[in-house]
Amino acid sequence: MQYQNPIIPGFHPDPSICRVGEDYYLVNSTFEYFPGVPIFHSKDLIHWELIGHCLTRESQVMLAKGFPNSIGIYAPTLRYYNGRFYMITTNITYSDTGSGNFIVWTDDPYGEWSDPIWIDLPGIDPSLFFDDDGRVYYTGTYQNIFLCEIDIETGKLIREKKDIWGGTGGCDPEGPHLYKMNGYYYLFISEGGTSQGHMLTVARSKTIDGPYIPCPRNPVLTNRSLSLPIKAVGHADVIQAHDGSWWAVCLGIRPVPYPDRHHLGRETFLAPVKWDDDMWPIFGNNGSIDIVMEAKCLPEVLVPKIEVRDDFDHSSFDYSWNFIYNPDPSLFSLTERQGFLTLKGNEISLDDKETSAWLGRRQEHMACTVRTKLKFDIVKDGEEAGLSIFLNCDHHYEIALTMVEDDKKIIFRRKIGSLWKVENSIPFSGDEVIFEMTATPNVYHFAYIDDTGNPVPVGQGEVHYLSTEVGGKFTGNYIVLYATGHGKKCTNPAYFDWFDYQYE
């Protein structure tokens, strides 16, 4: 049987997975975006449904501002033990406020998660391991991979941390996950940096404290130096399915050549796992993965089709929508005007690393078309609302309705690092407009829809300048609805009637 990668497209890095009977749950990193740590459910490991988020309240997470694409929520691990789900992660803030490693838990993955249980340990990429004797171990990344026994209820250390493995010599040993199987403790980590040299390596030991002996075939999973469409493969989590088969979820990228650059972010991929005669793992196609994979899969169980249109006729946001940083509820509403998304532009623009009237969802397909209908009664110069494709505050393109010297305009703007320019400005007399963005692997095209229903081109921008290699670090591109007063609050709200996302 064949299946197709990625299993979760778009910005969904650092996957971690657990199984409960015949149900599978998966989480990803979210960095500066809120709510944090999406949780997916599947019955067959291939088709996944987004069922919520682990971090939905300020009491759980305060996201730092000012360092987009590089801080926030890192590399979660999801585990299930004695009827309870545990998610452990790191909030990187570069301050003493809300920074560090913590656990949240729930008995219902569709419901709310607990407030954080903080753990006084350094580093990133924490993971949990529940041993057969009931002891709970924490593995983390701090120069080397270390191990520590903890109290799962309080987060307190039961014994001091101990370095257990430094990897095979690749840079940045990280992303540890510990398992017990085949009479060994297996320690999987990633090395080589989370880019083209990324790789998964493994070592094992008869005792949990080590010594850990590396696999003679390391790396056991990597696409480095291969002419495959998937690159930067690593950060894997291994699971045994309910039929006895073994699988791994991992991150990877699908760059556009040449030279390689990627803009959808690091995505979630799936690889079958087998065991050789010496009980070492064999991942995917003898240590690599591809877009189309051959494997004996679980029986197919489809999930509801991804909603591609939002009429904003509910009282709460679809799980696919995110905010940048912790949101200010006074800036948005789904109930103030029935059937509309209301955004109240404040002083903050797309260029500013602060909370703004900003609502986005991941671009998950290289080829897609987005439309939205905006109603915006502009009163003063600088008031603006529109549609943006957004990597971070320094790299974005947008089409917008605004006022310049008391004249209404439709504009197309590009922001590329320190370069900023309104590329086109078209007089416009109305206060309602449909904006369109069409994405190809290399170019974003922007237009508005005229009275005859035809798109009127306004501008275009190269995908290259909104790629991780040019302007970002750890995230991917978002499609954003926004409003701003550029230094002043907008006189009136911007109303978005609907949003439509079509993909090939």
Residue among 14, 237, 267, 394 flagged as catalytic: 14
Alpha-carbon gap, residue 231 to 467, rounded angstroms: 15
Could you say which of 44, 174, 267, 394 is catalytic? 174
| Greatest C-alpha distance within the chain | 76
What angle is formed at CA 474 by the lines to CA 399 and CA 476, rounded to 5 degrees?
A: 30
Q: Is the dihedral of CA 163, 88, 90, 120 positive or negative?
A: negative
- Residue 270 and residue 246: Cα distance in Å, rounded? 11
| C-beta of residue 387 within 8 angstroms of C-beta of residue 400 | yes
At 138, the amino acid letter reads: Y
Q: If you write DSSP's letter for every residue of 346-388 in order, what string do you get? A: BS--TTSSS--EEEEEE---SSEEEEEEEEE---STT-EEEEE
The reply to whether 174 belongs to the active site is: yes
Helix or strand holding residue 6 (H, E): none
Residue 260 CB-half CA count within 13 A: 15
DSSP sequence for 55-119: E-STTT-----S-TTTSEEEEEEEEEETTEEEEEEEEE-SSSSS-EEEEEEES-TTS--PPPEEE
Phi-psi region of 335 (alpha: psi -120 to 50; beta: other; left: phi over 0): alpha
Interatomic CA distance for residues 329 and 480, integer angstroms: 17
Three-class DSSP category at 187: strand
Beta carbons of 179 and 186 less than 8 angstroms apart: yes
- For the chain, the first-to-last Cα distance in angstroms comes to 23
329: phi then psi, degrees, rounded to nearest 5: -60, -20
Q: How far apart are CA 324 and CA 430, in angstroms?
A: 30
**Quick check: 378 and 492 in contact, CB under 8 A?**
yes
Cis peptide before 259 (omega within 30 of 0): yes
Whether 62 and 50 have beta carbons less than 8 Å apart is answered as no
Cα 241 to Cα 359: distance, rounded to the nearest angstrom? 37
Residues classed as catalytic:
14, 174
